[in-house]
Structure 1
Amino acid sequence: MLNPQWLRSFATLARLGSFTRAAEALDLTQAAVSQHVRHLESSLGPLVIRRPRAIELTPAGQATLDYWRELDEADQRLRGRLADENACQGEVGIITPGGIGLLIYPRLLDLQAQRPGLVVRHRFAPDPEVLQAVLDNRFELGLVTLRPDDARLASCAFLEERLELVMPAGEQVECWEDLRRIGFIDYPDGQAMANRLLSRHFPGSPGVKDLPVRGFSNQIGLMLEPVARGLGFTVLTQHARRAFPRQDEIRVLDCGSPVVDTLWLIHRAEWPLSARAQHVVEHLRGTVGAMAPSLPAGKAVPGDGDAVR
């Protein structure tokens, strides 16, 4: 690669048209500028025609000047990216579990509509995949349900989400046998979430593995479709349940003492968030974060239908 200082001297000479003025602009001696140009010419051939009162670029000199301009523009782009001056331009990647993803993705699209230069890249994934994706720098931001203990990750509390047992609208659940009769609709992390809620509401129960599985889906947006059709029950977050469009076809069991998770916002700890990512976080905190937390168990949420026993 050509020496950047030689190229800078040559470009300044081409711009000012004089070795003397170029030396003054660069705070160098005229001999130093001449030497830099000679070094380039030893590799590239004649770059300038020296005349008594001016210089003229040769074709090789013009090509070298174009090359310097491309390098300078690339340098400015790099510095701009590192400085991250514009919070409303470029791509931001965020990876989240399904339930909270259903809540925040429309709000991310709202932000992108307001900031056309911003590109939001979002992915649904379980906690282990979220952690690995952020560690691998494939996504700048992530949300997880368990606070990581990895020193490479910074984390802060973002939002609470409540687990709910959701069943077909025509069903009643009074005991464990009712759940065995209805059957479980499973999904990635579904059994772990179900065991946490069921152990609280049905102490001493054998756990979700005792229940027949009536279906499985890895699409969180479709999780309640089999439930609404009467094929089984499931346990998922309140945010995911609220995103289902046919609320009159499902019911939420009042499980008494609620199981509430704290969602943790994570990013790499070794370097600060980009201005774009900070802008996204501020937007989400101002919209999603401002939402009221879950109501105490046993109280109906307007528009959600009644919790049932």
Structure 2
Amino acid sequence: MFNAHYFRTFITLVETGSFTRTAQRLEMTQPGVSQHVRKLEDYLNKELLERKGRSFTLTESGRRAYDYALKLFAEHEQFRHGLDDDSLDSGDCRIASPGSVGLMFYPYILGQQQMHPNLTVNYSFAFNHEIVNDLLEGRYDIGIVTEAMRHPELSCSIWHEEPLCLVVPADFAGSTLSDLMGIGFLNYYDGINHANALLRANYPDEFRSMTHFRHQGFTNEVSMVLDAVARGLGFTVVSRLVLETSPWQRQVKALNLPNAVNEVLYLLRRRDSVLPKRYEKLLDGFHAQRLQEKTPLVPSS
């Protein structure tokens, strides 16, 4: 029969290298330690130790049993902490968002995991409609989407806002709508919606529709669209989150525009769910960090 106490005794024995010290640490008798090891060997049907008087060495089976036991107890602790809904810094989190959000939110989460080893996060980069399906089917607990979603089983609320940036090649010398039309538009998922909103707010007398622009291409990876801009293939409109994390920041620039337009990010969750407090800490922590940061945009010449 499986007995976790036998594995715990075996781990301690390997770590101390002594039956006597193991007995002292576990407040057992030395014969009790020996009995636990024999019972574990009987359970596994393998010899775990090569005994040499009062000393011992591990057999190959013993080394494998020790590695397994360490993993077993680590997973047990992770599971135990995951059941604590009141814990802010431990347990499992399951989150999904588009790539434009995940470019900064996911690295923030990784930083939290480094500080709190018992915190585990499964993060999916997905499109809005995929996130809705994942939430309904229980694969994730929360989703962050770039448009408001209406569904009887889901709750949707505003979580965060990020400014949109009109991004052009670094050597682009224009500023008018005609200049932008001359180089063409680079699209991605949500690209047209973002461009419509930002251009309409800043060129109200001239802008009519994105259908009037020459489309230079499309990518479903928003993080890659600035590569095309950097190569001089056109302009695009992206969230500041995307621009700040782009490796092509020095090859592009954001035009200075008089009227700011924000991308609104929405938090999705199942209506019947009660989320552990660790989700609130992650969401509020990232939101507060973004409000405090004042990283300058790439300046327009």
1:185: how far off? 1.1
Rg: which structure is higher? Answer: 1
- Describe the superposition over 1:254-286 as per-residue Cα deviations: whole angstroms up to 9, x where unpaired: 22111113322221111201x2xx314303422
Conserved? CA contact 2:81–2:118, under 8 Å: no
Cα distance, 1:197–1:119 mapped onto 2, change above 3 Å:
same
Match of 2:47 in 1: none
Cα distance, 1:293–1:263 mapped onto 2, change above 3 Å:
farther
| Match 1:247 to one of 242, 246, 249 | 249
The answer for unaligned runs of 5 or more in structure 2 is 1-78
Conserved? CA contact 2:226–2:246, under 8 Å: yes
1:107: how far off? 0.9
1:260 aligns with 2:262: yes
Matches within 5 A, 1:163-174: 163-174=164-175
Instruction: Note the aligned Cα RMSD (angstroms).
Output: 2.8
- Describe the superposition over 1:41-86 as per-residue Cα deviations: whole angstroms up to 9, x where unpaired: xxxxxxxxxxxxxxxxxxxxxxxxxxxxxxxxxxxxx999776476
Match of 2:289 in 1: 290
Residue aligned with 2:193, SS: helix
Cα distance, 1:302–1:107 mapped onto 2, change above 3 Å:
closer
CA distance in 2, matches of 1:106, 1:260: 22
Match of 1:4 in 2: none
CA distance in 1, matches of 2:260, 2:86: 44
| Match 2:214 to one of 193, 212, 215 | 212
Conserved? CA contact 2:150–2:156, under 8 Å: no
1:89: how far off? 5.0
CA distance in 2, matches of 1:287, 1:206: 36
CA distance in 1, matches of 2:117, 2:193: 40
1:122 aligns with 2:123: yes
Conserved? CA contact 2:90–2:278, under 8 Å: no
Conserved? CA contact 1:92–1:140, under 8 Å: yes
The answer for unaligned runs of 5 or more in structure 1 is 1-77, 295-300
Match of 2:137 in 1: 136
1:226: how far off? 1.0
Conserved? CA contact 2:84–2:91, under 8 Å: no
Conserved? CA contact 1:126–1:189, under 8 Å: no
1:180: how far off? 2.0
1:293: how far off? 7.2
CA distance in 2, matches of 1:244, 1:80: 36
1:183 aligns with 2:194: no
How many residues align? The count is 223
Matched residue type, 1:279:
R
1:181: how far off? 1.6
- Describe the superposition over 1:133-153 as per-residue Cα deviations: whole angstroms up to 9, x where unpaired: 222222111112333333422
Conserved? CA contact 2:191–2:238, under 8 Å: yes
Residue aligned with 2:159, SS: strand
Match of 2:299 in 1: 306
CA distance in 2, matches of 1:214, 1:229: 12
Matched residue type, 1:167:
V
1:245: how far off? 2.7
Match of 1:231 in 2: 233
Conserved? CA contact 2:154–2:270, under 8 Å: yes
Match of 1:70 in 2: none
CA distance in 2, matches of 1:79, 1:305: 46
Cα distance, 1:289–1:262 mapped onto 2, change above 3 Å:
farther
Cα distance, 1:173–1:135 mapped onto 2, change above 3 Å:
farther
Conserved? CA contact 1:158–1:289, under 8 Å: no
Matched residue type, 1:101:
G
Matched residue type, 1:291:
R
- Describe the superposition over 1:140-189 as per-residue Cα deviations: whole angstroms up to 9, x where unpaired: 11112333333422344321111111000100333222122211111112
CA distance in 2, matches of 1:155, 1:126: 16
Residue aligned with 2:110, SS: helix
Q: What fraction of aligned residue pairs are identical, expressed as a percent?
A: 31
